[in-house]
């Protein structure tokens, strides 16, 4: 499984935007809510599971989209299933590490 990632620095914190690679470029719509999983936000490069794990462990702010991405983060103890939101069947989660 590949993941699509973009890494930026935000107020001296590492911010990771990560999604399941097959979601990149998709638009998710539910009622009045639209979520674009854009290359500009999530698409800097593709990584394999091992590198995705390292990035998830070492980032302070994480924006995640997709079943595989969120499953991996929860397996690593990053985030909680209680925080996961679903839009048209696609899970997303935002984590701020203190």
- For 4-18, the pLDDT digits (tens) are 999 999 888 999 999
How far apart CA 34 and CA 82 sit, in angstroms, is 22
Q: What was the pLDDT predicted at 11?
A: 85
* Mean pLDDT, residues 65-70: 97
Bridge-based pairing of strands 27-30 and 85-87 is unpaired
How far apart CA 47 and CA 12 sit, in angstroms, is 24
* Mean pLDDT, residues 58-80: 96
Q: Over the stretch 31-47, which tens digit does the pLDDT of each residue have?
A: 998 999 999 999 999 99
- Domains belonging to the chain, first-starting first, are 3-96 (3.30.1860.10)
**Model's pTM, two decimal places?**
0.93
Q: What was the pLDDT predicted at 98?
A: 73
- Residue 15, Cβ density class (10 Å: 0-12 exposed, 13-18 middle, ≥19 buried): middle
């Amino acid at each position: 499984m590949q993941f699509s990632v973009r890494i930026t620095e935000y107020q001296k914190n590492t911010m990771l935007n990560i999604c399941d690679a097959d979601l990149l470029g998709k638009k998710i719509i539910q009622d009045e809510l639209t979520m674009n999983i854009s290359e500009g936000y999530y698409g800097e490069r593709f990584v394999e599971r091992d590198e995705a794990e390292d990035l998830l462990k070492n980032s302070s702010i994480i924006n995640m989209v997709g079943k595989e991405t969120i499953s991996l983060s929860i397996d690593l103890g990053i985030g909680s299933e209680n925080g996961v939101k679903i839009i048209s069947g696609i899970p997303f989660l935002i984590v701020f590490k203190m």
